[in-house]
A and B are shown apart, each in its own frame.
Chain A
Amino acid sequence: MGNRRRSKRASNRTEPLAMTRSPTDAPAVESRTADGLAGRCVRLGLVSVIVAGLIVGVVAWWNPPPDDANDRAPFAAPTIRLSKVPAEATTEELEKELIGISELLQRRFGELPEALHVAATVHAELRQTRKAEEIWRRCISLAPTNLAPRVALATIAMERGEDQAAIDALSDALAEGHSSPELHHHLATALSKVGRIEDAEQLLLGSLQKYEPVAENWRLLGQTQLQLEQLAEAETSLLRALELGDRSGELYLALTSVNSRLGKEPEAERYREEFRKRRAILPEDADQPFQVTYAAAMRRNLVNILGKAGAVFAHQGDMRQAEQLLLRAIELDPEHAEILRELARMLLDQRRVPDAWVVHRHLVELDPPNYLDCINLATVATELGDYDSVEQALRLAMDLRPQMALPYLGLARLYLDVGRFEEARWHANAAVRREPSLAAYAALAAACQELGDRDAADAARDAAKQLAAQYPSFEDPPLVPTLDPP
């Protein structure tokens, strides 16, 4: 194996991951010595990764060791620590903290609707519905066009048995031009509950003309038609909900009822059996003492609210407070992946790459690990020049989704970069087998070239050209964004 280009980076691989140097000690990443082909390979690989990331809809990208790495200042030491054990707290403490967040949001952002919305949610969760209503009304007066507080207000009105108030709030929103399947669902539910079943049906029929593939609204329409004794129509609507993937107990119960009444007892019995199966499933915490489930529910509420409040502060530019809130959420629930990801995003936005690395590392250590978290860790680790982490993260990604080309391509690219060309060729070939792409062929060509196998390199280039001809837009990919702010 040609080790002529093996650099200091490669030597770091001998250390176990846990002992990998801290991002602080990361030496300035050497400038890549790759020739044009290798550079093209890398860029094409990056594009492939980005496209893959976009396809799955996550903010995951692959950053190559930057060309200007020598000019960069070394990264600072990570400043955050993440516990793996949930912090202890009594339900009283959790409740007090929830109230505290509401007060903080109201104090800091008393005129900001999204902040007030989170504050109101706190009180709704605590069944302090009058307080929640008061805050949501303030939200609505500040942002009359915002639908969320209106829907929330209507929801607590219904929970208080004040469905007419819910109807008024949602009807106003409708009259002002708001339109969404959710709005229609809530309004139809409220109309139905006060006995205005025909109105509910008409609303849903109109809604489903506009937003057809909404299973929940087909189910609600079917239930509404069932109440109106429109049995054939009800069956059609309920079956459409089933077709759209609704497998809820209430759908099966409605289908049971409509078929019984249509005299189709075999079908009714089939749906009844499906309903029985669903009702036989107990909640996961069914055998837990109340104190445990209650405390867990309170903790979940607080963690969610901390996450939402953190987002509000981040949006308002108070990153310090946002970080504190998210870190508190993680203290309470160290395995809350969404909040960990949000924190990582926030840290990357601030170019706190070592801290982001800590968070991403924590994410991939969750059980079970997530494929995209592995990709993200590889990205951040690349930025730090921590190729051990890169390699391990990509290998874990391969284990998790062996059919995906991306980790193979990433490793091919890594091995090219550190001069392990045989391994680079093997992984590039594996990437091509899984998903032929310009990037994969380019990596393969580069590896073959480095190994002196010109025929194979030419073959890979030809294949790349053929593919490029098929997908011309991929031929000249834009440069990949780096962690630098634009």
Chain B
Amino acid sequence: MNLRRPLMMRSRKTLLPSCFMLALLLVVVPSRAESVLRMTDVTAESGIAFVHSHGGSGQGYIVEGVVGGLALFDYDRDGLIDIYFLNGAPLRGTEVDTLPRNALYRNNGDGTFTDVTVRAGVGDPGHGLAVTVGDYNNNGYPDLYISNFGPNVLYRNNGDGTFTEVTQEAGVGNGDRVGAGVSFLDIDGDGTLDLFASNYIDFTYENHVPLPMGQFLFQASPQYYRPEPDTLYRNNGDGTFSDVTESSGIGSVAGPGMGVVCFDYNGNGYTDILVGNDGAANFLYRNDGQGRFTEDALVAGLAYDFLGNRNSSMGVDCGDYDNDGHPDLIMTNFASEMPVLYRNLGEGFFVDATNAARLDVGLFPHVTWGTGFADFDNDGHRDLFIACGHFDPIEHVDDRTAFRVRNSLLHNRGDGTFEDVSLASGCGLAVVESSRGVGLDDLNNDGRVDAVVLNSNAAPTIIRNDSDQGHHWLQVQLRGVTANRDAVGARVRVVAGDLVQVAEVHSGRGYQSHYGSRLSFGLAKIPRVDRVEVRWPGGGVESFQDLAVDQLVVLTQGTGQAEE
């Protein structure tokens, strides 16, 4: 524990010395053996100059704390994953010289990125909370949907490196609300992506509740405001959407929604919706296949944690950590709440496996946000990334945590348990910030999943995965034909010898973020993939046989052949 302290106190400005100190400490303290995971902070050389603003200046607005997400996606289809950062807007009482805007960074393919925000036309100045990506018009280019404190924004990708803001004509502005996690999904299997927008609370400047704590104003919990029902838009197939919140059943409940992930929790082929609520029972909207939903989290075992606590859920991701064929869930939570790992037992039931999986109890005092399952060492078992940080100067009233804390990396041991390797996996995990959204994708196409972290009111962290165990891998990009073009909602089963893995294509995940449209599978030492089975959204299972490893393959619906 003492090892951690000096590093925790460093800011990013002293990052290189931090890396050096960490390495030194790792050498002299044998108990901190080096992990197989090597994560390197490459922010400085990435050329990314973006600095996030949470928009506040000490007023304690709740919307200052719940910023914000990022999206990793290949907006120009050049085969490289680009980065879109959300930014906060100046909240009432905050003065700025330059208006903060969201930013799009194009991946140059050499470890650097270029700010193309202006050219692309995606510099929304709204108070950005969540973002997702989906090709809602099936034109082959991924579009962006952003939820704000204020009207949401839809950017249609023009396919030429630019976007057009089409919120009004599409009818997806979602009013003037406090937005939360957003996802595209095909609710009825008609081949077009519908849109789910979670909503948080009815905060306005007029009903703001400041909490004086000594010399500071802390942020009130969402329980001081009225929770909002979530919103569901059905895609009309002509570039417009219809609000089906009420008719779909989504509007039957209201909660302070945060992170969202859409997935097929009960294996019936229909995409369901999981919303983490902040300080209230989570919602699981079960899809009847026709686009009508029933809230069923308590029956599924996802409403509460093992002890029946209604946690303050923040982020949520979906991944089969134990390779039993059923997608599991990780949900991040507030301080004095563990992140909760829900193991999917199949047939619609989950159990809280946090203890059994030995999630690091050191996370307990911290607020946890962005999260994701990813196999960082390609050993065939998905690891966990968990971003941490408070939104108040909490260290003044609670010495267990701080506004800025280190993030966590948990290595999957392959036996259903995780090991915290944060201190032993390189300087990428030594950064001390108040992190929020996290994206996990292969930024340099080397087959290893990298990480991008949005830090509140600070520069982001770009983490290159340098883990090198000589493990094989396979990346899969799906192309729907009758299904939506990016096959959001498809379930992929990769069989390589004894190793069988399952993943789904999601739009929107983690904490208010989007990443992983390209599915990554670690294969350990297995040199060949026997087959990849794809269950396409809308129906139909297709098998792609005998695939070479260490490559990205494109699987187009109905072809049966992988494009390499």
Q: A279-B281, A279-B308 are in contact. Are A129 and B357 (CB under 8 A)?
A: no
B205-220 interface code vs A (CB 8 A; 1 in, 0 out): 0000101101000001
On whether the beta carbons of A160 and B308 are closer than 8 Å, the reply is: no
On whether the beta carbons of B301 and A250 are closer than 8 Å, the reply is: no
Q: Enumerate chain A residues within 8 angstroms of B363, measured Cβ to Cβ.
A: 161
Closest partner residue, chain B, to A294 (CB atom): B211
Counting chain B residues whose Cβ lies within 8 A of the other chain, the interface size class is: 35 or more
User: Separation in Å of the B254 CB from the closest CB of chain A?
Assistant: 15
On whether the beta carbons of A195 and B400 are closer than 8 Å, the reply is: no
Q: Enumerate chain B residues within 8 angstroms of A252, measured Cβ to Cβ.
A: 308
On whether the beta carbons of B361 and A279 are closer than 8 Å, the reply is: no
Q: Interface on chain A toward B: helix, strand, loop, or mixed SS?
A: helix
On whether the beta carbons of A159 and B301 are closer than 8 Å, the reply is: no
Of B298, B353, B358, B400, which is within 8 A of A194 by CB?
B358
On whether the beta carbons of B209 and A195 are closer than 8 Å, the reply is: no
On whether the beta carbons of B355 and A197 are closer than 8 Å, the reply is: yes
In the complex, B310 has a CB within 8 A of chain A: yes
In the complex, A351 has a CB within 8 A of chain B: no
B-contacting residues, A135-167, CB 8 Å: 158-163
Q: Interface on chain B toward A: helix, strand, loop, or mixed SS?
A: loop
Q: A195-B357, A227-B356 are in contact. Are A92 and B365 (CB under 8 A)?
A: no
A10 to B224, CA, bound (A): 60
B-contacting residues, A224-238, CB 8 Å: 226-227
Q: A195-B356, A289-B209 are in contact. Are A129 and B399 (CB under 8 A)?
A: yes
B89-106 interface code vs A (CB 8 A; 1 in, 0 out): 000000000000000000
Select the stretch in A204-212, A253-261, A393-401 that faces chain B: A253-261
Question: Count of chain A residues with Cβ under 8 Å from any Cβ of B?
Answer: 37
Q: Enumerate chain B residues within 8 angstroms of A126, measured Cβ to Cβ.
A: 397
A-contacting residues, B357-384, CB 8 Å: 357-358, 360-366
On whether the beta carbons of B355 and A249 are closer than 8 Å, the reply is: no
User: Separation in Å of the A52 CB from the closest CB of chain B?
Assistant: 41
User: Separation in Å of the B468 CB from the closest CB of chain A?
Assistant: 29
User: Separation in Å of the A319 CB from the closest CB of chain B?
Assistant: 36
On whether the beta carbons of B361 and A257 are closer than 8 Å, the reply is: no
A213 to B223, CA, bound (A): 38
In the complex, B236 has a CB within 8 A of chain A: no
Of A128, A161, A195, A250, which is within 8 A of B365 by CB?
A161
Closest partner residue, chain A, to B1 (CB atom): A162
Closest partner residue, chain B, to A253 (CB atom): B308
Of A92, A161, A279, which is within 8 A of B310 by CB?
A279
In the complex, A127 has a CB within 8 A of chain B: yes
On whether the beta carbons of B308 and A291 are closer than 8 Å, the reply is: no
Q: Enumerate chain A residues within 8 angstroms of B345, measured Cβ to Cβ.
A: 261
On whether the beta carbons of B365 and A159 are closer than 8 Å, the reply is: yes
User: Separation in Å of the B533 CB from the closest CB of chain A?
Assistant: 28
Closest 8 CB pairs of A and B: A195-B358, A161-B364, A127-B398, A253-B308, A161-B362, A250-B308, A249-B308, A163-B361
Known: A126-B397, A161-B365, A161-B366. 5 other contacts (CB 8 A): A127-B399, A130-B399, A159-B336, A227-B306, A227-B353
Q: Can you name 20 A-B residue pairings with CB atoms under 8 Å?
A: A127-B398, A129-B399, A158-B364, A159-B365, A160-B400, A161-B361, A161-B362, A161-B366, A192-B355, A194-B358, A197-B356, A227-B353, A249-B308, A260-B349, A279-B308, A279-B310, A286-B223, A290-B211, A290-B220, A294-B211
Write the residues of chain B forming the contact surface with A, with a CB cutoff of 8 angstroms. Answer: 1, 209, 211-212, 214, 220-221, 223-224, 281, 298-299, 301, 304, 306-308, 310, 336, 338, 345, 349, 351, 353, 355-358, 360-366, 397-400, 417
